Amino acid sequence: MPEIALLSQETIDKIAAGEVIERPSSVVKELVENAIDAGANAVTVEIKDGGISFIRITDNGCGIEKEQIPLAFLRHSTSKIKSVEDLLAVSSLGFRGEALSSIAAVAQVELITKPAGALMGVRYVIEGSKEKSVEEIGAPDGTTFLVRNIFYNTPARRKFLKTAQTEGSYISDLMERMALSHPNVAFKFISNNQTRLQTSGNGNIKEIIYHVYGRDIAAALMEIDGGNEEIKIRGFIGKPIVTRGNRNFENYFINGRYIKSKVISKGIEDAYKNFLMQHQYPFTVLYLDMDGKLLDVNVHPAKMELRFQNGEAVYDCLLETVKQALYHKDLIPKVPVTEEKIQKKPAVIQHAPEPFEKSRLPERPKPVPIQEKPIVERKPETLPKNTEETVVAQKIEQTVHQMTLAEDVTYGAEFLKEDTKAKRKIIGQLFETYWLIEFEDKLFIIDQHAAHEKVLYEKTMATLKTKEFSSQQLSPPTILSLTMQEEEILKKYLNEFEKLGYVVEHFGGREYAVCAVPANLFGVDVRQLFMEMLGDLEKVSGKMTPDIILSRVASMSCKAAIKGNQQITKEEMEQLFDDLMKLENPYNCPHGRPTIISMSKYEIEKKFKRIV
């Protein structure tokens, strides 16, 4: 049997550091959180080479007393808690007592600090957990950390770091979250001598969203302020027009801490369920405030994951708060008739901090500087031809045309109100798919398929809640000849079909008779509808609850909606419009596509040059 031996303290420190310090962004996170806990309202972060070779973090917090400095670098030393009972009520950002010890174990650290009122500051140097020097020095109030050559003494771990650009992008994302989570702190982030982010610390969240995500998203926000006695929820959510194909735009903070939570994500996404297309995710910047005793923030060493004592209550509160902000609102997208010439837009080639420029791009790509010196602003019509600047301007301009829809979302129009019905003038059907309606100084366009699909879905879901199903008998029944696989799918989900009002009977062999359908689907092509639903159910994978399956079948039933390229009468259109307006959310089909869009008379006349 191999001999058992105790590890050296140096080895223990390096192993412990691995739990907290994964990469340069971990260093920045721990030190910035410490600065905020120290009462700083101004924090500057400067990095070089993605933070691998150099990190400097300066704050104007309370500083550290000279005799306390060596103690601060010991493992499990902290000013946040005194006993295990204090963990239940901790409200600071960092309290594990391992940050400085872990950083010092794998990097060369220099600390310069001076408490307010002290005559002199202190410069303290520690490398690889070994103290190098302590000396008095002139310094401003606050603390400055310089961290050099992370993992210099653990080359195996250094090899796992990404490129400098990638590591820098992690820190950039972190600083954006820090700015959003602490709007009352002025942050400045400098990478390779270029300012990437700067906030004023005036507490204006919408202003920070503008600096981080750009004008298109900042112009398409809805404010939230709600919750209950135990949980307070405030912040901003994006109108359904602002979406991404991943959860990167879902920002939420609990008691000032950026975290990840499946419970919170599910609450947000379920609230948006009827507004977004499948695999699309919303934009949110939400702040949840609750008693620290209701959660455990110490689940993960990076403190980004947590557990709730009552996750179901958190989910319900968030779901209802977000839904209240979304429902009963006019969310009809306004489609501007944009000019395609560059000179019709303001100049976009100008010197500005990186977050402002990158906010113009749809997927927030990481910064790639065009040139080192600032670009002099000039009018677009004077731009030299065939230059790099012209090409860049055109590319950015094309992106802005693509994104203008987000900032032109109307809010509070009278179009949908019952008492304004007399002002609506149905002009006619376009391409046998879209209905044109004139209302005051706007043109509204309704997609008849999306609108009917939404009406059918809401009616079907309403019957699920009330359990008042009605069927319409088919005479003669529709006979389906199924493959073995289709037959298995039908048997598997037959109970859900029957709950919705379908009556299906075995007709011999692999043939089945559809004898009745839900009353609101009477008159549709039953054979085509059923075969499409069975085909969709065949694709279902993973474990699904009966309620989810029922909802899925209900959604599939909406395939009975009138299609595009199908003529309907004006009377049928008026009835469809009336049914649509009675819904809580008439703006999106069950799959998230818009049912109505609008264009203003001003934009149309501008296109025809009636207005210059």
CATH number of domain containing 265: 3.30.230.10
595: number of Cβ within 10 Å: 23
Strands 42-48 and 186-191: parallel
pLDDT value of residue 588? 80
Most confident range, picked from 123-127, 363-367, 426-430: 123-127
Q: Is the pLDDT of residue 47 over 50?
A: yes
**Quick check: is 334 in a domain?**
no
Position with higher pLDDT, 407 vs 473: 473
Measured in whole angstroms, the distance separating CA 153 from the mean position of its chain's CA atoms is 38
The CATH number that applies at residue 147 is 3.30.565.10
Position with higher pLDDT, 585 vs 48: 48
Residues 192 and 210 in one domain: no
Residues 279 and 151 in one domain: no
- Mean pLDDT value of segment 544-571: 71
Contact 436, 448 (CB under 8 A): no
pLDDT value of residue 609? 81
Domain end marker among 407, 423, 444 = 407
Which pLDDT tens digit goes with each residue over 190-199? 999 999 999 9
Range of the domain at 122: 9-198
Which pLDDT tens digit goes with each residue over 475-498? 899 998 888 888 888 988 888 888
- pLDDT category, 85, cuts 50, 70, 90? very low
pLDDT value of residue 304? 62
Which pLDDT tens digit goes with each residue over 423-432? 888 898 888 8
Q: Is the pLDDT of residue 219 over 80?
A: yes
pLDDT value of residue 186? 96
Domain end marker among 198, 220, 250 = 198
**Quick check: is 260 in a domain?**
yes
pTM equals 0.62
- Mean pLDDT value of segment 316-324: 91
pLDDT value of residue 265? 93
Please state, for a pLDDT cut of 70, what percent of the chain lies above it. 73
**Quick check: is 591 in a domain?**
yes
For residue 312, count CB atoms less than 10 angstroms from its CB and return exposed for 0-12, middle for 13-18, buried for 19 or more. exposed
- Mean pLDDT value of segment 319-336: 77
Residues 159 and 82 in one domain: yes
Residues 374 and 467 in one domain: no
The CATH number that applies at residue 537 is 3.30.1370.100
Residues 92 and 183 in one domain: yes
Residues 236 and 107 in one domain: no
Residues 145 and 216 in one domain: no
Which pLDDT tens digit goes with each residue over 153-180? 988 889 899 999 999 999 999 999 999 9
Average pLDDT, the chain: 77
Domain end marker among 198, 227, 256 = 198
Residues 63 and 176 in one domain: yes
Residues 500 and 577 in one domain: yes
Q: Is the pLDDT of residue 58 over 70?
A: yes
- pLDDT category, 543, cuts 50, 70, 90? low
Contact 253, 286 (CB under 8 A): yes
Residues 514 and 581 in one domain: yes
**Quick check: is 456 in a domain?**
yes
- Mean pLDDT value of segment 43-60: 96
**Quick check: is 1 in a domain?**
no
DSSP secondary structure, 136-200, as one string = EE---SEEEEEEESTTTT-HHHHTT---HHHHHHHHHHHHHHHHHH-TTSEEEEEETTEEEEE--
Residue type, position 177, single letter:
R
Give, in order, the Cα–Cα distances in Å from 584 to each of 27, 273, 325, 467, 588. Answer: 48, 13, 12, 20, 11
Position with higher pLDDT, 584 vs 406: 584
**How many domains in the chain?**
4
- pLDDT category, 302, cuts 50, 70, 90? low
Position with higher pLDDT, 448 vs 334: 448
Position with higher pLDDT, 552 vs 182: 182
- pLDDT category, 98, cuts 50, 70, 90? low
pLDDT value of residue 485? 82
- pLDDT category, 237, cuts 50, 70, 90? very high
**Quick check: is 500 in a domain?**
yes
**Quick check: is 417 in a domain?**
no
In the chain the first and final C-alpha atoms are separated, in Å, by 89
Q: Is the pLDDT of residue 368 over 50?
A: no
Which pLDDT tens digit goes with each residue over 238-276? 988 788 888 888 999 998 888 888 899 999 999 998 788
**Quick check: is 429 in a domain?**
no
CA angle 513, 518, 523 (to 5 degrees): 75
Residues 364 and 349 in one domain: yes
Lowest mean pLDDT among 228-232, 305-309, 376-380: 376-380
Q: Using CA atoms, how far apart are residues 534 and 603, in angstroms rounded to an integer? A: 45
- Mean pLDDT value of segment 125-134: 93
Residues 443 and 490 in one domain: yes
Q: Which two tokens stand for residue 334?
A: 């306004």
- pLDDT category, 303, cuts 50, 70, 90? low
